[in-house]
Amino acid sequence: MEKVQLRDRADRISQISKRYMMEIILIIIVVVLIVTAPGFFTLGNILNIFRNVAITGVISFAMTMVIIGGEIDLSVGSSIALSAVITSTVTGKLAATGRMSMDSAVWIAMLIALLVGACIGLFNGFIRTKYNIPSFIATLAMLNVLYGVAAIISKGFPVTTLPNWYNWIGAGRFFNLIPVPALWLAIAFIFVYIIMNKTTLGREIYAVGGNPEAARLSGINVKFVKIIILMIVQIFAAFSGIILSAQVMSGSSTFGRGYEMEVIAAVIIGGTSLSGGIGKAWGTLIGIIFMGVINNGMTLFGVGDFEKYVVRGLLILGAVMLNTIQLQSLQKVKQ
pLDDT tens digit sequence for 133-164: 999 999 999 999 999 999 999 999 999 999 99
DSSP summary character for residue 199: S
Mean pLDDT, all residues of the chain: 92
CA distance 237 to 260: 10
Question: Looking at residue 6, what is its pLDDT?
Answer: 65
Hey, where are the domains in the chain? 39-325
Cα–Cα distances in angstroms (integers) from residue 80 to residues 31, 58, 106, in the given order: 34, 12, 17
Q: Which residues of the chain have pLDDT under 70?
A: 1-8, 10-11, 13-14, 18, 324, 326-335
Question: Looking at residue 142, what is its pLDDT?
Answer: 98
Cα–Cα distances in angstroms (integers) from residue 328 to residues 283, 287, 324, in the given order: 17, 20, 6
CATH 3.30.420: does it fit domain 39-325? no
Collapsing DSSP states into helix, strand and coil, what is residue 179? strand
Cα–Cα distances in angstroms (integers) from residue 48 to residues 206, 250, 277, in the given order: 34, 21, 33
Query: Shortest CA distance to 243 belongs to which of 301, 162, 304?
Result: 162
Question: Looking at residue 329, what is its pLDDT?
Answer: 65
Q: What's this model's pTM, rounded to 2 decimal places?
A: 0.94
Question: Looking at residue 228, what is its pLDDT?
Answer: 98
Question: Looking at residue 20, what is its pLDDT?
Answer: 81
Q: What share of the chain is helix, strand, coil (3-state, %, to 5)?
A: 80, 0, 20
Question: Looking at residue 2, what is its pLDDT?
Answer: 62
Query: Which helix (H) or strand (E) is 174 found in, with range?
Result: strand 173-174
Question: Looking at residue 152, what is its pLDDT?
Answer: 98
Question: Looking at residue 121, what is its pLDDT?
Answer: 98
What's the pLDDT tens digit per position in 296-307?
A: 999 998 888 888
Rounded to 5 degrees, what are φ and ψ at 131? Answer: -110, 0
